[in-house]
Amino acid sequence: INSLATYRPKLHFAPKKNWMNDPNGMVYFQGEYHLFFQYHPDGTTWGPMHWGHAVSKDMITWEELDIALYPDEHGTIFSGSAVVDWNNTSGFFPDEPGLVAIFTHHLDGTEERPPVQTQSLAFSHDKGRTWTKYEGNPVLGPDTKVDFRDPKVFWHKETEKWIMSLATGQTITFYSSPNLIDWKFESEFGEGIGSHDGVWECPDLFTLKIEDSEEEKWVLIVSIGDNPEFDRGSFTQYFTGSFDGSTFTAEHDSIKLLDVGKDNYAGVSFSDIPDEDGRRIYLGWMSNWRYANQVPTDGWRSQMTLPRELAVRKVGEDYKVIQRLVGELNSYFSEKVDIDECIVEGTKTIKVEESYVDLTLNLERVDAEQFGITVHHTKEQHTTITFDSAKNVLVLDRKKSGQIDFSDMFLLDQEVKLENTDNVQLRLVVDSSSLELLVNGGEYSLTSLVYPDKACEAISIHTFNGTIKAAGYVSIPCK
Ligand code: FRU
């Protein structure tokens, strides 16, 4: 099969050619969303990192532009963020506001010394098309810590300072600055809390509205690198709590996962979304370090998740980050195939032969022991999502989804414990080589790659030992 065509996503960003990992420098400026990304322009596996660049009007259709940042004497270009310097705090913009990128310079280790990671700046006067590196680079580091990277910067209105969250080994360190150039240590977070299964990477700190209230919560996202001792690969956790301009305090001891699937990593949010819009929009790298370098695509590797709007929901005494796909996605669908309310016992199949689909479905358990849906990619290839009412779990099984034999971990079921399975709401977007499942209004997100010969031939609803009530619709592409 020609995997160049087969696996290439219709709705997700993927580079035209060669290797991509983390989203970087996501920022909205003068009518454009910018997506920079970890990019290796000379191969389809990870290598000396550059910042690739794409722009979009709606975060779904992206135009890939020239490489934004190239390696230099300080090293290759690792992950980081971008902001609009509206008030020329940096002095780079005497005439009109522009973009500043804050990123990690990485120098490989040698026989004499370990790797060196420092934070540097570049600025652009032409909407991100060309960049000038700051002559005083680096602006922060090196440090005694070898892992000292992935700066995410935002303007903290209350203290009128820039705040940088930086991944520093297995903690996040916060720095502040009046001008993006001079950085002062504020505090360090993470000792003895959260998951320490691997190195901490790609932090992001922001406020989110609490659903159905006027209140907000501070949320800190932290990605956790792959650790060969465990079979989960790389994943993302978050903390909810408070931030006073200097210190972040988490309000819980439990480990909270942003995505219970295997393929959502290093995600961060857009900077400078206008106040009138008010959304906090996030997207991640849709892969897993355990097998990212082996996935069976030709000529290009990796894609991003769909953009998602984040909020916080109070569940009991706990606060959960919930995710919804951005409304911009709706204009990529025109028709609907209705699934009228019905009782299902056994299997009900809906034929939808499309290159991508968006399914909305409510499943109400009557007495089925197990129930769920299967996406039939082709006659032989399928992915199954099952709810087990005795165990209260949701399981995604991709063992028969197509090409699977490039990694043992790809075969493992993706499973999450739910409060109950009496009434589940599903939203599932199926593209050429991915499934993004949001359960119960985005309380759970399960993002999973698959490599079938075709996206979708049919969707079936099925039960085991009993019945369920089902209703919903499948949205299909514009013709
Ligand atoms: C996360 C990461 C970052 C680093 C980048 C290098 O996936 O390891 O910590 O900056 O990738 O490409």
Task: Please report the ipTM that was assigned to this predicted complex.
Answer: 0.99
Ligand 1 atom nearest the C-alpha of 150 is 10
- Ligand 1 neighbour 150 (Cβ under 6 A): yes
Residue to substitute in 77, 103, 150, 302 for testing ligand 1 pocket (most ligand atoms within 8 angstroms of CB): 150
* Percent of the chain's residues with pLDDT above 70: 99
pLDDT higher than 90, residue 437 = yes
- Ligand 1 neighbour 370 (Cβ under 6 A): no
Which pLDDT band holds residue 479 (cuts at 50, 70, 90)? confident
- The rounded Å distance from CA 401 to ligand 1 centre is 29
Instruction: Give residue 440's Cα distance to chain centre.
Output: 19
- The rounded Å distance from CA 169 to ligand 1 centre is 12
Which pLDDT band holds residue 4 (cuts at 50, 70, 90)? low
Rounded distance between C-alpha atoms, residue 223 and residue 236, angstroms? 4
**468: β partners:** 344, 365
pTM given for the model: 0.98
Closest CA relative to residue 82, chosen from 153, 172, 30: 153
pLDDT higher than 80, residue 235 = yes
Per-residue pLDDT, averaged over 58-83, amounts to 98
pLDDT higher than 80, residue 2 = no
pLDDT of residue 6: 85
Active site positions, annotated: 22
User: What's the whole-number average pLDDT of the chain?
Assistant: 97
- Sheet with 468-477: list strands edge to edge: 333-344, 468-477, 357-365, 423-431, 434-439, 444-449
pLDDT digits (tens, 9 = 90+) for 92-103: 999 999 999 999
- The rounded Å distance from CA 227 to ligand 1 centre is 14
- Ligand 1 neighbour 266 (Cβ under 6 A): yes
Rounded distance between C-alpha atoms, residue 398 and residue 84, angstroms? 42
pLDDT higher than 70, residue 467 = yes
Residue to substitute in 24, 37, 79 for testing ligand 1 pocket (most ligand atoms within 8 angstroms of CB): 79
pLDDT of residue 1: 46
pLDDT higher than 90, residue 3 = no
Ligand 1 atom nearest the C-alpha of 79 is 10
H or E element, residue 439 = strand 434-439
Ligand 1 atom 6 nearest Cα:
78
pLDDT digits (tens, 9 = 90+) for 171-184: 999 999 999 999 99
Residue to substitute in 201, 235, 287 for testing ligand 1 pocket (most ligand atoms within 8 angstroms of CB): 201
User: 346 to each of 26, 359, 379, 464, 465, how far by Cα in Å?
Assistant: 46, 20, 19, 7, 8
- Ligand 1 neighbour 21 (Cβ under 6 A): yes
- Ligand 1 neighbour 38 (Cβ under 6 A): yes
Per-residue pLDDT, averaged over 131-155, amounts to 98
Rounded distance between C-alpha atoms, residue 341 and residue 221, angstroms? 39
Which pLDDT band holds residue 5 (cuts at 50, 70, 90)? low
pLDDT higher than 50, residue 302 = yes
Place of tokens 């505090």: 187
- Ligand 1 neighbour 140 (Cβ under 6 A): no
pLDDT digits (tens, 9 = 90+) for 328-355: 999 999 999 999 999 999 999 999 999 9
- Ligand 1 neighbour 104 (Cβ under 6 A): yes
Task: Answer whether 467's CB lies under 8 Å from 362's CB.
Answer: no
- Ligand 1 neighbour 329 (Cβ under 6 A): no
Q: Which two tokens stand for residue 470?
A: 């089902």
